[in-house]
C-alpha cells in the first residue's frame, strides 16, 4: 500500500511503539503520586517539556500536554475568552476544531469576526487589517493549511497585531507545520501554538499547547489540577514519551527537502495528462490538491484504494460531510471541488513509491473516463 493521506494521520514509528510499551508496562507510574518511581516519571515529563520548548525555538513559556490538537485548540480559544467588550478574530480557512469553536463563541454572544482567504489560500491581510483594533483579545490562525498546504505569513500577521491590536494574543494551529517545516515561535512572536503527535509519526491521542505565559488562558475542565491547573487529568505518559521519541528521530530540514523532491517528481509524472489538474499553492511540500475532470474525487479515492494507493478528500475530520468550505472560500469551482482529492506526503516515502503512485493515478483516471464516456 502507498499511503498519500499523511495530512490526515501518519504511521507511527516502531521506536515510538517501543517507547509507549515501556512507559505503559514498565515505568507505568502516575507522575502526580509521591513514590520515588512516580517522581522519576514526573522528571521525565518535565524534561520532555523542556525538550519540546527547545524544538519549538521558545525562549520562554511552557508546554501543556493535551489529548491532541482538538483539545489544544479548544483550550487556547475557550481558555482565552473573557467576559467584556472583547473581539476574537479567526479566518475562514481554519480546521473544524477552531472554526466550530469560533462559531459557538459567536452563538454565546462573543464578538467573533472571520477573515477572508485570498486566492493563494492565505489569510487576506488587508481584510485582517480592517478588523483589528484595541478591543481584539485573540487572533487564531493556521500556520499551514491542512487542505491546501498554503503557509500563512505569521510575521506579517504579528506585525499587524502589534500595530493595531497590541493587547491581542496570537494563537497558531501548527498541526501541519510542527516537525514538517522550519520555524520558531520566538522568531514568529507566537503566544500560543497547537501541535499533535499523530501528524508526525507519533501516537494518536496526545499533543500539546505551547503558551508563552500561563495567565493567557484559564482552565476549561475542572479536576485534580494537573498541567499547571490548566488541564486536569492524569497525563498520558506513554503517549507523551512516544511523542518525544518521534520528535527525536525527525530531521526537519532534511525531510523537507526530500518531500519537496517527491512532490516535484509526482507533479512531473502527472503534468500534461489531459483532465488532471494540479492546484499548487506554493506552500508546504507535504500537501497538494489534484482535480480529476469529469470524475468525482470520492470515485477516484475508492478506485485508487483498490489499486493500493490511499489518498484523501481534504480534512479527515470532515471528509464525510458534503462540500469543502476552504476550497470554496478561495474560489475553486464547485465542479472542481467535487472532483478533487488531497495528496499528502511523508518524508519516509521512496521515489519508487511515488513513481508507482503517479502511474496508478493516471491508469485509474483514464480507465474511469473510458467507462463513463
CB–CB of 335/297 below 8 Å? no
Residue burial 326-361, b: 16+ Cβ < 10 Å; e: rest? bbebbebeeebbbbbbbbbbbbbbeeebbebbbebb
| Coil, strand or helix at 151 | strand
Residues shown for the chain: 373
Q: Does 25 participate in catalysis according to the annotation?
A: no
CB–CB of 115/128 below 8 Å? yes
Residues 6+ positions from 88 with CB-CB distance below 8 Å: 77, 81, 102, 105, 110, 111, 112, 113, 136, 137, 138, 140
Q: Which of 25, 141, 317, 341 is catalytic?
A: 317
Q: Which three cell numbers stand for residue 45?
A: 515529563
CB–CB of 194/52 below 8 Å? no
Residue from 33, 20, 167, 30 nearest 89 by CA: 167
Q: Which residues are catalytic?
A: 317
Amino acid at each position: 500500500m502507498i499511503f498519500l493521506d499523511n495530512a490526515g494521520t501518519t504511521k507511527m514509528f516502531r521506536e515510538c511503539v517501543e517507547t509507549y510499551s515501556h512507559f505503559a508496562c514498565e515505568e507505568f507510574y502516575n507522575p502526580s503520586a509521591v513514590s520515588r518511581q512516580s517522581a522519576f516519571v514526573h522528571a521525565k515529563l518535565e524534561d520532555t517539556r523542556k525538550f519540546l520548548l527547545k524544538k519549538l525555538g521558545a525562549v520562554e513559556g511552557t508546554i501543556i500536554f493535551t489529548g491532541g490538537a482538538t483539545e489544544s485548540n479548544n483550550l487556547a480559544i475557550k481558555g482565552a475568552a473573557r467576559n467584556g467588550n472583547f473581539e476574537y478574530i479567526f479566518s475562514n480557512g481554519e480546521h473544524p476544531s477552531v472554526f466550530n469553536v469560533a462559531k459557538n463563541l459567536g452563538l454565546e454572544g462573543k464578538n467573533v469576526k472571520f477573515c477572508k482567504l485570498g486566492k493563494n489560500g492565505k489569510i487576506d491581510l488587508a481584510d485582517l487589517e480592517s478588523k483589528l483594533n484595541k478591543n481584539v483579545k485573540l487572533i487564531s490562525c493556521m500556520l499551514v493549511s491542512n487542505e491546501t498546504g498554503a503557509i500563512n505569513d505569521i510575521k506579517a500577521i504579528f506585525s499587524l497585531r502589534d500595530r493595531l491590536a497590541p493587547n491581542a494574543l496570537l494563537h497558531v494551529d501548527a498541526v501541519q507545520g510542527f516537525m514538517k517545516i522550519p520555524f520558531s515561535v520566538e522568531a514568529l512572536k507566537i503566544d500560543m501554538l497547537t501541535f499533535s503527535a499523530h501528524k508526525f509519526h507519533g501516537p494518536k491521542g496526545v499533543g500539546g499547547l505551547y503558551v508563552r505565559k500561563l495567565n493567557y488562558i484559564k482552565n476549561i475542565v475542572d479536576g485534580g489540577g494537573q498541567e499547571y491547573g490548566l488541564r486536569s487529568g492524569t497525563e498520558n505518559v506513554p503517549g507523551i514519551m512516544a511523542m518525544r521519541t518521534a520528535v527525536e528521530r525527525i530531521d526537519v530540514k532534511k525531510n523537507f527537502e526530500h518531500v519537496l523532491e517527491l512532490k516535484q517528481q509526482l507533479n512531473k509524472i502527472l503534468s500534461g495528462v489531459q483532465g488532471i489538474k494540479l492546484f499548487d499553492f506554493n506552500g508546504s511540500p507535504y500537501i497538494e490538491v489534484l482535480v480529476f475532470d469529469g470524475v468525482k474525487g470520492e470515485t477516484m479515492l475508492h478506485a485508487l484504494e483498490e489499486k493500493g494507493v490511499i489518498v484523501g478528500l481534504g480534512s479527515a475530520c470532515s471528509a464525510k460531510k458534503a462540500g469543502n468550505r476552504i476550497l470554496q472560500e478561495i474560489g475553486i469551482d464547485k465542479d472542481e471541488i467535487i472532483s478533487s482529492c488531497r495528496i499528502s506526503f511523508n518524508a519516509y516515502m521512496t521515489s519508487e513509491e511515488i513513481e508507482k503512485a503517479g502511474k496508478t493515478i493516471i491508469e485509474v483516471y483514464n480507465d474511469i473516463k473510458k467507462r463513463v464516456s
